[in-house]
Amino acid sequence: MSDLLRRTALTLLAPVSAIVVAMIITSALIAVSGGSATDFLSVIFSVPENRLIVNMINQSALIYMSGLAAAIGFRMNLFNIGVEGQYRVASYGAATLAGAAIFPGILNVIIPILFAIVLGAAWAGIAGLLKVTRGVSEVISTIMLNAIAITLTGYLLNKYGQHVGNGVRTTPIPESSHLTGWYPFTRADGPVWTLAILAVFLGVGFWVVLNKTRFGFDLRATGLSETAAVASGVKVGRMVLYSMLLSGAVAGLIWMPAFYGAAHSYGTAFQAGLGFTGIAVALLGRNQPVGIIFGAALFAFLNEQANRLTIETDVSVSVVQITQGIIVLSVVVMYEVVRRYRIRLEQRQVAEREPAPPPAPEEVPA
């Protein structure tokens, strides 16, 4: 039991100390640049308003899915930097299809969502195929694909979208396809989007697949030791492709809650940058489904609380980005430190259990 306690403590040590370190550095930075660190801390750690709580929940859901998408690759040592491009392509495609309103009622939700999944998977699959067949590093190919996705969707949107005023957007979906959601407080505080529930399903699914299935085991084994995985009969190339497809499929869903809940069209309402946030959150949560929940909630919390900085203090909103960056960097450093400590600890335990037999040298006449 004390062993379990120690393990838990060790697991929590890294994120907690990272948050503390980040807060200290951020405060110091604010103080040095002439701001008030106490103002910053009091705003960040104040109880959020209802409206912000709703936003936090919604944002957590989006960030969480993005974190999962990244984590699927990370668990296999695949750096899918391309979540950003994948969910952009998928969001544009789904929005266009849903805006065309070809399908009646709920089908105009289901089919575009499936389309988003397929598009996200396909976009990630390009990087997967390039890696498996041509040995191209997924880091660089997904970065290229991100740039291509931004340009391509921009071009298509410009060419085929509705130009409204200064902006351009896809055709808004009919009212019958809106999935606004549930109002936990007053209507003015806004709804928790219906499709935010997707995050829950995906989280549970990720956990089950990773920890309970053969496929998940193969995936983790490949990430832990590719050579051992090959020797155990895992076809690594196939696993790379599958996990890229899976990662992209999840990425395809990231923006869907916001699309059906509030935006209703792809355009200025599109929330970019979630892909990169997802990477940070996956790292923060150690690529574990439960850990990523905390990571996503923390990031959403910081983002929303930071919005109040401008109103209530002189401190810039951007400061929270520094906080987030420091949290990520210090958490990965701390995880590494804890990992080394844990290995030493276990080795010592084993050594206590099995003391090295005292070698008995004996003189042998030469």
Partner 1 sequence: MSMTAKAPKTPEARQMRAKQFNNTWLLFGIFGIVVVSFVRVVTGADDLAATNTIKAAVIATCPILLAGLGGLWSERAGVVNIGLEGQMILGTWGAAYFTYYYGPWMGVVGGALMGALGGLLHALATVTFGVDHIVSGVAINIMAAGAANFLAETYFADLSGGGFKQLTGLDRPGEITIPGISDAATSLADQHWFLISDLSSFVAAATKEVSTLTILVVVLVVATAWILWRTSFGLRLRSCGENPAAAESLGVNVYAYKYVAVVVSGALAGIGGTFLTIVSSSGFTAGQTNGRGYIGLAAMIFGNWRPGGTVVGALMFGYTDSLPLRSASAVHALLLVVAIALIAFALLRVYQGKQLAGAVIGGFGLAFGAWWLLTDSINRDLVGLTPYVATLLVLALASQRLRMPAADGLRYRRGQSI
Partner 2 sequence: MADAEAGSRDAVRLRGITKRFPGVVANHDVDITIGRGTVHALIGENGAGKSTLMKILYGVQRPDEGTITVNGDDVTFHSPTDAIEHGIGMVFQDFMLADNLTVLENVVLGAEKLRGIGDKARDAIAEISRVYGFGIDPDVLVERLGVGDRQRVEILKVLYRGAQIVILDEPTAVLVPQEVDALFDNLRGLKNEGYTILFISHKLDEVLAIADDITVMRQGTTVGEAKPGSVTEHQLAEMMVGSELPSPETAESTVTDDVLLTLDGVTLTDERGRQLLSDISFTIHRGEVLGIAGVEGNGQEELVETIMGIQAASAGTVSLQGKDMTEWDTRERREAGIGWIPADRHRHALLLDSPLWENRILGFQTREPAVRGLWIDRSGARTDTERIVREYDVRTPGIDTLSRALSGGNQQKLIVGREMSNDPILLIASHPTRGVDVGAQAAIWEHIKTARRKGLAVLLISADLDELIGLSDTIEVILRGRLVAEVDPQTVTPQQLGSAMTGGDDDEEGAA
Residues that bind partner 1 in the complex, under the rule CB under 8 A = 29, 33-35, 79, 81, 130, 134-137, 139-141, 143-148, 151-152, 154-155, 158-159, 276, 279-280, 283, 316, 318-326, 328-329, 332-333, 336-337
Beta bridge partners of 162: 169
The residue type of 198 is L
> Contact between 207 and partner 2 (CB under 8 A)?
no
Q: Which does 165 bind (CB under 5 to 8 A by kind): partner 2, partner 1, none?
A: none
CB 108 within 8 A of CB 98: yes
In terms of CB distance, is 8 or 225 closer to partner 1?
Answer: 225
Q: How far apart (Å, rounded) are the C-alpha atoms in residues 303 and 305?
A: 6
In terms of CB distance, is 134 or 214 closer to partner 2?
Answer: 214
Q: Which does 175 bind (CB under 5 to 8 A by kind): partner 1, partner 2, none?
A: none
Q: How buried is 209 (Cβ within 10 angstroms: 0-12 exposed, 13-18 middle, 19+ buried)?
A: middle
Stretch that binds partner 2, among 142-150, 155-163, 251-259, 358-366 (CB under 8 A): 358-366
Q: How far apart (Å, rounded) are the C-alpha atoms in residues 195 and 58?
A: 9
> Contact between 365 and partner 2 (CB under 8 A)?
yes
Give me the residue label for tokens 């002189």: 314
CB 60 within 8 A of CB 300: yes
> Contact between 361 and partner 2 (CB under 8 A)?
yes
Length of the chain in residues, anyone? Answer: 366
In terms of CB distance, is 49 or 312 closer to partner 1?
Answer: 312
* Contacting residue, 20, 106, 224, 290, with partner 2 by CB under 8 A: 224
In terms of CB distance, is 169 or 264 closer to partner 1?
Answer: 169
State whether residue 278 is helix, strand or coil: helix
Contact residues for 15 (Cβ-Cβ < 8 A; gap 6+): 284, 291, 294, 331, 334
> Contact between 133 and partner 2 (CB under 8 A)?
no
* Maximum distance among all Cα pairs of the chain, rounded to whole angstroms: 100
CB 65 within 8 A of CB 254: yes
Q: How far apart (Å, rounded) are the C-alpha atoms in residues 186 and 199?
A: 24
Shortest distance, position 319 Cβ to partner 1, whole Å = 5
Q: How far apart (Å, rounded) are the C-alpha atoms in residues 249 and 242?
A: 10
A 10 A CB-CB count for 35 gives: 18
In terms of CB distance, is 3 or 175 closer to partner 2?
Answer: 3
Q: Which residue, 48, 5, 6, is CA-closest to 309?
A: 48
One character per residue 226-255, x = contact with partner 2 (rule: CB under 8 A): -xx-xxxxxx--------------------
State how far the alpha carbon of 239 is from the alpha carbons of 38, 46, 125, 128, in Å: 50, 45, 12, 10
A 10 A CB-CB count for 10 gives: 14
Q: How many alpha carbons fall within 13 Å on the CB side of residue 221?
A: 17
In terms of CB distance, is 111 or 148 closer to partner 1?
Answer: 148
Instruction: Report DSSP letters for 321-339, one per residue.
Output: HHHHHHHHHHHHHHHHHHH
In terms of CB distance, is 155 or 201 closer to partner 1?
Answer: 155
Shortest distance, position 82 Cβ to partner 1, whole Å = 11
In terms of CB distance, is 308 or 342 closer to partner 2?
Answer: 342
> Contact between 344 and partner 2 (CB under 8 A)?
yes
The footprint of partner 2 on this chain (CB under 8 A) covers a number of residues equal to: 40
> Contact between 47 and partner 2 (CB under 8 A)?
no
In terms of CB distance, is 114 or 209 closer to partner 2?
Answer: 209
Q: Which does 324 bind (CB under 5 to 8 A by kind): partner 2, partner 1, none?
A: partner 1
CB 301 within 8 A of CB 54: no
Q: Which does 321 bind (CB under 5 to 8 A by kind): partner 1, partner 2, none?
A: partner 1
Q: Which does 359 bind (CB under 5 to 8 A by kind): partner 2, partner 1, none?
A: partner 2
> Contact between 5 and partner 2 (CB under 8 A)?
no
Which residues are near partner 2 by CB under 8 A? 211-218, 220-221, 224-225, 227-228, 230-235, 343-344, 346-351, 353-354, 356-357, 359-366
